[in-house]
Amino acid sequence: MNLNDDYESCRKETAKWAKTFYLGTLLLPPKKRKAIWAIYVWCRRTDELMDSPEAQKLPINELANRLNEWEAKTRNVFAGTVHTDLDAVILDTLEKFPQSIQPYLDMIEGQRMDLTQTRYETFNDLELYCYRVAGTVGLMTQQVMGIDNAYTNAPWSIKPDTSQAAVALGIANQLTNILRDVGEDRGRGRIYIPQEDLVKFDYSEEDLMKGTLNQQWELLMAFQLKRAREWFEKSEEGVRWLSEDARWPVWTSLRLYRGILDVIERNNYDVFNNRAYVSKWIKMLELPISYVISRTK
């Protein structure tokens, strides 16, 4: 195994499947960006166990077995056992940036929720799912990002804890994914918008499955976007504590991903016929803006 080649494979996969996220990683120092690429690919592999085209054709018991095997494999990597190229880069990342296995196990548990749960009664129910499949990413990456040197040797009483903000950013990103992917998810029989919200805005599951665009849908989506933006605001509180070389990348990723919500709004909330994405020129514009914010907030 050649670690440089293995990390390069992770880079290519991240660049292909997560263009907005990838742009932010390029602003990190090489050591940190490679670690983030490795973590991204591990998360993608975990997601593919449930959501790849091949997985969609498998019975629930086989999907459950795949998740069990993946959990055992993950535990082995944390114990130092390497069998694949991805194992190698994850273990190397863990050696450079020690962290707990718990977020990784929690993410696998989030995939298990998708085995049987296709509806969420309340937002509290959905929040748990969002933590497991995305908030965990914030916890996986916070050791890579690091804390500003000014706080590294500070007394424990004043050392900042970025965990809540890291989780909040993951949840904000997942809520954005949910709103962007409503049309795709309905094709798989999944509705992630809380049932209580559908009732509140008098918009039925039948309407959603048909892709009905009406005033109720607009009000429902405006409410969902407001909630997602509030989670992005919660995440901002922790960026100031990050190491200097991580603040610009995190601000860039945060602002670009939040920008998807603005695109959904400009598309009049039509996520059934239009996939929301941030244009290249907006991405280029956001780079200097995020840099200034990272130096002033």
CB-based contacts of 233: which residues, under 8 Å, 6+ apart?
none
Is the pLDDT score of 153 beyond 80? no
Average pLDDT over the chain, rounded to an integer = 94
- The average pLDDT across 235-245 equals 93
Q: What is the pLDDT of residues 205-225, one digit of tens each?
A: 999 999 999 999 999 999 999
Is the pLDDT score of 152 beyond 70? no
Q: Which residue has the tokens 């903000």?
A: 165
pLDDT of residue 20: 85
CA-based nearest residue to 208, from 198, 222, 194, 200: 198
Is the pLDDT score of 7 beyond 90? yes
Domains of the chain, first to last: 1-99 (1.10.600.10), 117-297 (1.10.600.10)
Q: What is the pLDDT of residues 86-122, one digit of tens each?
A: 999 999 999 999 999 999 999 999 999 999 999 999 9
pLDDT of residue 149: 72
* Band of pLDDT at residue 160, cut at 50, 70 and 90: confident
- The average pLDDT across 176-194 equals 96
C-alpha–C-alpha distance, residues 190 and 182, integer Å: 9
| 147 backbone dihedrals φ, ψ, rounded to 5° | -105, 145
- Bridge partners of 242, per DSSP, are 147
pLDDT of residue 151: 64
pLDDT of residue 234: 96
SS (HEC) of the chain: CCHHHHHHHHHHHHHHHCHHHHHHHCCCCHHHHHHHHHHHHHHHHHHHHHHCCCHHHCCHHHHHHHHHHHHHHHHHHHCCCCCCHHHHHHHHHHHHCCCCCHHHHHHHHHHHHHHHCCCCCCHHHHHHHHHHHHHHHHHHHHHHHCECHHHHCCCHHHCCCCHHHHHHHHHHHHHHHHHHCHHHHHHCCCCCCCHHHHHHCCCCHHHHHHCCCCHHHHHHHHHHHHHHHHHHHHHHHHHCCECHHHHHHHHHHHHHHHHHHHHHHHCCCCCCCCCCCCCHHHHHHHHHHHHHHHHHC
Q: What is the pLDDT of residues 41-89, one digit of tens each?
A: 999 999 999 989 899 899 999 999 999 999 999 999 999 999 999 999 9
C-alpha–C-alpha distance, residues 162 and 184, integer Å: 33
C-alpha–C-alpha distance, residues 170 and 162, integer Å: 12
- The average pLDDT across 266-270 equals 97
CA-based nearest residue to 92, from 164, 41, 135: 41
- What percent of the chain has pLDDT above 70? 96
C-alpha–C-alpha distance, residues 226 and 224, integer Å: 5
